[in-house]
Amino acid sequence: MTAASWLNCNTKFCRTGFKKVYSVFMLAVLVVAACAARPEKARPPEIGARRPPDIQLGAELVLLDKPPVMSSCIIDLEGTAHLFIVNKTGQLYHIKVLGDTITARELLGIVETEKVGFIDAVEHPPGKLRVIAGDKQYYQTVQNSKWQEIKGNRCARFVPTPNELFCAFVAKGEEVSAPERTDYTVGWFLLIPVVYWSHAYASKIVLAEETTRGWVVRAVVDPDTPLDANSDFMVGVDNSGGINFLYFTSKGGGAFIIFAYGYSGGAGGTSSESKLRHVQLPVNQLRSQSSDSKDQPPSGNGTPTRWLPFEGTPLTDKPFIKAANKYELKNIYVVLRPLNRNFSVNSSTGEINGLMWAGGEWVELSLHNSEWFSRPNVIVTKGYPASNCVWFDSDKPLIKIDGEGRFHVLLEHVERKGIWTSRKYMNYILKNGEGWSAPLTLGSSYWYGGVSSMAVNNSGASFVAWVNEDRKFIGRWIKPGGKGTR
């Protein structure tokens, strides 16, 4: 059909189709025009005075030729970086990097990719490397020795303390005697109202300790509430010996609608709202196993042990900002997830610090005693450091805080090079006693997803890894006190 015949067609379907296409086109034009006419927010004056961090960049190393599904990274006490990577076929690799040289690349095993969901690694005690990925756990006791597998893993995050090793995961409600609840779902199917319900036991975050009997549950968070704990949680140990959790809770049920009109139709729905919570578990209480604990068998052997209940404190997931400036975030779309990447415990201060995307800019948040600080600290904003830079929400932001309280952050930005051309870049940003640095571009980044990892140590060094625009998984060292790239 030519353009002329399309415009002059007399069938009802043809006229209706043209009107729909024309309406969508005009709506898009109006949206673009409105965005272009939207006034730019003034940039905080202190941002313009920031300078790139005084660091030394190592060479780019190709870790894998294809993007991995998941990765984790640590720096051991000897200064070697260890990367643990799961590819799309479920192969779990260990890669060692010393200086600018890859010294080892070995296959540890195969994990079921649909069961992975998380990956974590730790050195505990000194000289013993451990990694968890899905239902597999591996450890290496002596340098260069063969890796050993622990089957039936349930841990999701390692939680190391000076004397003990804990791990955290979400357990089924039946396993910790959580209360049963009824979830209701309501909606419309065409013109018919629908209501159905289901019963469920609330899943809970549990903390387990490594013992000679295996992993034994020591604490359960919110054991008596009917809400589910989500698998996206942050956990870390502060300077007082408290194990801090930042997590979301929710329940089942919701609302939906399914409709049809002529040749068209559609569907939509909402789930229950997630609630943000914080809790601190003192390690000394876990050691003493206070008398108000409850009996709970550990997984596997059925031998009864005792765990302690801890109740979380509700938080707002839109931290209030009432400073005497332009930042009023109450009605701005904000993003806090994923919590395990966007937040970290500052062991030197006891605070939880994190990243929040709000209306086109990234800001720093601080949580102390289950209360948000009342003013954010802007990290980057649109048009900074160059006028064609745009910072946006993605799944690759990452914050790590070293033992001296320095913040190490990875963020992505897009540079517009014309109406149809743009490139994506990975950036490193440092916060020390002098405040936030300007972004330092590490290299190109892959447009369509890709994982990223970062490890830091107490000397201020970090090793970062991400997927570049050529879809290669690359890594490089970032060390303090340098003069740029070497």
Q: What pLDDT score was predicted for residue 300?
A: 43
The number of angstroms, rounded, from the C-alpha of 482 to the middle of its chain's C-alpha atoms is 30
Of 331, 333, 422, 361, the closest CA to residue 40 belongs to: 361
Helix (H), strand (E) counts: the chain: 5, 40
CB 219 within 8 A of CB 206: yes
Q: Are residues 334 and 342 in contact, defined by beta-carbon separation less than 8 angstroms?
A: no
CA-to-CA dists, residue 224 to 16, 307, 465, angstroms? 56, 14, 41
pLDDT per position as a tens digit, 424-464: 999 999 999 889 999 999 999 998 878 999 999 999 999 99
**Pairwise CA distance, residues 222 & 191, whole Å:** 40
Give the residue extent of every domain in the chain.
47-110+316-486, 156-315
* Cα–chain center distance at 415: 24
CA pair distance 141, 127, nearest whole angstrom:
7
Positive or negative, the CA dihedral 277, 156, 294, 177 is: positive
In CATH, what is the architecture of 47-110+316-486? 5 Propeller (2.115)
pLDDT of res. 416:
83
In whole angstroms, what is the distance from residue 453 CA to residue 23 CA? 44
Q: Kindly give the confidence (pLDDT) of every residue in the chain, 486 residues in length, as a single tens digit, with 9 standing for 90 and above.
A: 433 333 334 333 333 343 333 333 333 333 333 333 333 455 666 788 999 999 999 999 999 999 999 999 999 999 999 999 999 999 999 999 999 999 999 999 999 867 667 899 999 999 999 999 988 999 998 776 899 998 888 999 999 999 999 999 999 999 999 999 988 888 877 778 888 788 899 999 999 999 888 899 999 999 999 999 999 999 999 988 899 999 999 988 777 677 666 556 566 656 677 899 999 999 999 886 633 445 454 444 444 457 999 999 999 877 754 443 444 545 567 789 899 999 999 998 999 999 998 878 899 999 999 999 867 789 999 899 888 899 978 778 999 999 999 999 999 999 987 777 889 999 999 999 889 999 999 999 998 878 999 999 999 999 999 999 999 999 999 999 854 433
Q: What is the pLDDT of residue 239?
A: 85
Q: What is the pLDDT of residue 116?
A: 65
d(CA 72, CA 76): 13
Pairing state of beta strands 136-140 and 129-133? antiparallel
State residue 7's pLDDT score.
32
Supply the pLDDT for residue 32: 36
Nearby residues of 433 by Cβ (< 8 Å), 6 or more positions away: none
